[in-house]
Amino acid sequence: MVSPTSFFGPLDPAPDAGWTEQPQPRKGFFTDTSVCIGCKACEVACKEWNAVPEDGLDLLGMSYDNTGMLGADSWRHVAFIEQPRPLGRGSAPFAGTPTGPSGTDVADAVTAAGVDALADASRIGSAQPGGFPVVDRAAERVREAGGQQFLGMPGTELPGRSAEGVGRSDVRWLMASDVCKHCTHAACLDVCPTGALFRTEFGTVVVQEDVCNGCGYCVSACPYGVIDKREGDGRAWKCTLCYDRIGDGGTPACAKACPTESIQYGDVDELRERAARRVEQLHAAGVEEARLYGHDPHDGVGGDGAFFLLLDEPEVYGLPPDPVVTTRDLGSMWKHAGMAAVGMLGVALAVFAGGGS
């Protein structure tokens, strides 16, 4: 049964935390990934406003993603997911639009030519200035195929909208800006021994860096793997939903910088209604895979303050499919521990009384 002090179930987190005077509407994010273009303006704006340190610009071998994951130095993470799609798939909203040839066949031919050249021992060591045997054989294959193929230049039209279908490929991109979910039931807050993590009057969860002792309990308690300890610092850091900005009536930096309004900020109740209408709109347009994630107050964390519209399963975006607050059973554990202690005390008293007689 859910009560105002439960560790699970739907509730309004700010009044539950004691913010009963001058109550504020719960604030949060709705991220519509169907309009995210992967510009990373949100990442830059977050770092700039919150003075989050640089976390490296290394290529990770994961497409164009050079952030990798959320962490102490990455409070926003734009995921780039490259998905192979069957060539010519007329998925909505591009149903009926022309599709162009894939570049895969050309790449396969060049690769095969390279393998042939390596297998030809007579050509090993015959490199000429300006090229290796593999390149020579690949060039021969291109000439045999009728000359060099022009693979196209970036156009100004939307993909698939040109009459010839030039530039379409069998790959689609999913992009999504991830962030702390500001859970209704935040396990990070439950396990913090110093009170460094606290619930704000807006229902968000914030770390006080001057109180954090770096114990790391919150890191293992987060069901999303969001909160992290900063290397060389030792304290825990994460998104604050720009507590200073929203306290002055402003908009969080990431949402302010988003050029496509993929990141929308506002009252959580209103955002949930807006998200439901957006899903209906996409379904009506034929995008049946559109779904919401983290919006349901009856899920394992009581609903998130930051939730998403996704175009594929949560696992594709690196999100847990069914997150549960890790302190959900804490109340029953305390209850059973108390009963066990009372039982042991009773046995001890009985033994003591029996020995005295």
- How high does pLDDT run on average in the chain? 82
329 carries a ligand binding annotation: no
Domain count, the chain: 2
180 carries a ligand binding annotation: yes
For residues 242 and 315, membership in a common domain is answered with: yes
pLDDT surpassing 90 at residue 92? no
| pLDDT tens per residue, range 167-211 | 556 778 899 999 999 999 999 999 999 999 999 999 999 999 999
What are the percentages of helix, strand and coil residues in the chain, rounded to 5? 30, 15, 55
The structure's pTM equals 0.72
36 carries a ligand binding annotation: yes
218 carries a ligand binding annotation: yes
* 248 in a structural domain: yes
* 242 in a structural domain: yes
For residues 237 and 290, membership in a common domain is answered with: yes
Environment class of 55 (CB within 10 Å of its CB; exposed 0-12, middle 13-18, buried 19+): middle
212 carries a ligand binding annotation: yes
39 carries a ligand binding annotation: yes
188 carries a ligand binding annotation: yes
Tell me, rounded to whole angstroms, the distance of Cα 20 from its chain centroid: 32
CA distances from 170 to 53, 98, 112, 282, 332 (A): 38, 12, 21, 22, 52
Range of the structural domain that residue 185 is part of: 23-84+172-326
* 9 in a structural domain: no
186 carries a ligand binding annotation: no
The residue among 261 and 349 whose pLDDT is bigger is 261
245 carries a ligand binding annotation: no
* 273 in a structural domain: yes
- pLDDT, position 171: 78
Read off the tokens for 54.
């640089």
For residues 321 and 232, membership in a common domain is answered with: yes
* 113 in a structural domain: no
Q: Which region among 149-153, 208-212, 350-354 has the lowest average model confidence (pLDDT)? A: 149-153
